[in-house]
Structure 1
Amino acid sequence: MLHKTCTDLVQIKAQDTQRNPTTGQVTRKNNPKIDSQTCLSRTLIVGPSARVMLIKNIDLSDGLVNGVFGTVCKITFEGNVQFPKTILVNFDNDTIGRKLRSRSICFEPQFQQATPIDAVEDKVMTGGSRRQFPLRLAWACTIHKVQGLTLERAVVSLKRIFAAGQAYVALSRVTCEENLIIQDYSAKAFYSKPDIDISLQKMEPFIATPPAEITSTLKICLHNIQGLCQHMEDLKHDQRILSADIICVTETWLEQNTSVDSIEMPGWTFNHKLRSQSYHNMTQFQDLVNKRHGGVGYYHKDHITCNIIHMPCSDLEAIMFNVQPLNYNYIVLYKPPSYKLTLFKQNLALVMQHFNQLSGGKVIMGDFNDNALVSKSAENFMQQQGYTQIVSSPT
Structure 2
Amino acid sequence: MWMLRGFSTFSGASGLTLNKSKSDIFFNGVPAGTISNILQVSGFHHGVLPFKYFGVPISSKKLTKLEGMKLIDKILARIRGWGARHLSYSGRLVLVQNYLWGGDADYKRAPNVNWVSCCLPKEEGGLGLKDAKVWNRALIGKYAWWLATKKDHLWVRWVSHVYMKGIEWSDYTAPSDSSWTWKKITHTLQAFKHAYVGNKWLDSDIPYTPQSGYDWLRTKHPKVNWRFLCWNSMNVPKTMFIFWAFMHRRLLTKDIMARMGFTADLTCDICANSNEDHAHLFYSCSYSVRCCSLLQQHLHITFSITDLVHWYSTSMLTGLQRRFIGACHVAMIYWIWMVRNEARVHSYVRRPEDVVNQILNDIHTRFLRLNLSVLHTKDLAWINSIHLT
TM tier, shorter chain? under 0.3
Greater share of residues in helix = 2
What TM-score do you get using the length of structure 1 for normalisation? 0.24
What TM-score do you get using the length of structure 2 for normalisation? 0.24
- The structure with the largest alpha-carbon Rg is 2
Greater share of residues in strand = 1
